Amino acid sequence: MYSSSSSFGCPKNGFVFAAIVVIFASLSGYVHGKTVIDSPMLTEKIGTNRTIKVDINGDGDFTSVQEAINSVPEGNGEWVIIHIRKGVYREKVHIPKEKPYIFLRGNGRGKTAIVWSQSSANNKASATFTAEAPHCIAFGISFKNEAPTGVAFTSQNQSVAAFVGADMIAFYHCAFYSTHNTLFDYRGRHYYANCYIQGSIDFIFGRGRSLFDNCELFVITDQRVSIHGSITAQNREDEGDNSGFVFIKGKVYGIGNVYLGRAKGAYSRTIFAKTYLSKTIVPHGWTNWSYDGSTENLFQAEYKCHGPGAETMNRVPWSKQLTEEEAENFLSINFIDGKNWLPAYI
Ligand SMILES: *[C@@H]1O[C@H](CO)[C@@H](O)[C@H](O)[C@H]1NC(C)=O
Ligand SMILES: *[C@@H]1O[C@H](CO)[C@@H](O)[C@H](O)[C@H]1NC(C)=O
Ligand SMILES: *[C@@H]1O[C@H](CO)[C@@H](O)[C@H](O)[C@H]1NC(C)=O
């Protein structure tokens, strides 16, 4: 077997290396904390050298993110990198549906931010960032809506930081800041890896089929209302609808008290798995506030969560603690068919 070992120098290392490759290959369909998906890795995976530079100080092709997007032709069929250098870009940014294969690459979520301030009764209209094209990646960017919602005696308006409204969209090391309705995960298959999401009421909502892998959810207070807010309001519509929000690993903590989710419709589906839950989670765990239909088709579930907020004794009776078999289909990128479209896994 090692007859050609002299060309390797050391057969033992060759064997160890092969074993590691085998282990990683067998794990690659699963969510796991070991593989670091960083910007060079993603850049290599999408294999392009088309890069448009955005620099707020004028040292690039554009000073505005939207202008860079505007320069991408409609019907774009090849990955294009829009590199957004550090800075706070005060603008609304929209990727229209005719412009797939855009990779927005920031310099890190602490350095590159896209910020706007708008509240509205119309969620989509309020969004700072709107992605409506399939095959879109964002890396290392903060998306913020700075509208003063959540303040006592102000309007009940919502303020969306990002509207994610197409299929096959992935966010890596991004952050989403707002209070009310921060992340509108409208529809399609989405992957959020190592992201930070902040909010108070319904701050992750919509009808997406989404995997939140090792994300950090920070709960703030909303001084307008006395009800507890809810992290999620998932809106799966019927039995055949394969949408749902799955949170795996990561942690939930903060300064307000919230439910893990509220049933938004009869088939609402949300799973928290292997997640750290701080005391910020109220003991009932889940709420049917504003939904007064049958609870029999709700799928509000937890699997092996830990921390002081994971105590199950007082959970509402219609929430579930999953068995390993029941949880299995939700715990890997297969839930979102990730192997077919996530560049990091192809
Ligand atoms: C990079 O650009 C050159 C032309 O500028 C092109 O010939 C080449 O195929 C490109 N490489 C990739 C990986 O896109
Ligand atoms: C609330 O939203 C409406 C539109 O839906 C808008 O006209 C109004 O200015 C918003 N209020 C605030 C305080 O932003
Ligand atoms: C809503 O949840 C509460 C608490 O578990 C329960 O008492 C009530 O019956 C539920 N509503 C319906 C319609 O099932």
Distance 157 CA to ligand 2 centre (A): 6
Tens place of pLDDT per residue across the chain (346 aa): 333 333 333 334 444 444 444 444 333 334 444 567 888 888 989 988 899 999 999 999 999 999 999 999 999 999 999 999 999 999 999 999 999 999 999 999 999 999 999 999 999 999 999 999 999 999 999 999 999 877 766 777 889 999 999 999 999 999 999 988 999 999 999 999 999 999 988 899 999 999 999 999 999 887 777 667 899 999 999 999 999 999 999 999 999 889 999 988 899 999 999 999 999 999 999 998 878 889 999 999 999 999 999 999 999 999 999 999 999 999 999 999 999 999 888 7
Distance 49 CA to ligand 1 centre (A): 6
Q: Where are the domains of the chain?
A: 37-341
Architecture of domain 37-341: 3 Solenoid (2.160)
Answer for the pair 138, 104: CB distance below 8 angstroms, yes or no. yes
Q: Name residues whose C-beta falls within 8 Å of residue 28's C-beta, 6 or more positions apart in sequence.
A: 35, 345
Q: Report the Cα 139 to chain-centroid distance in Å.
A: 11
Q: Name residues whose C-beta falls within 8 Å of residue 265's C-beta, 6 or more positions apart in sequence.
A: 235, 236, 237, 291
- Number of C-beta neighbours around residue 153 at 10 A: 6
Residue nearest atom 4 of ligand 3, based on CA coordinates = 316
Catalytic site residues? 202
Site to probe by mutation for ligand 1, drawn from 49, 52, 76, 78 as the one with most ligand atoms within 8 Å of Cβ, is: 49
Global pTM reads: 0.88
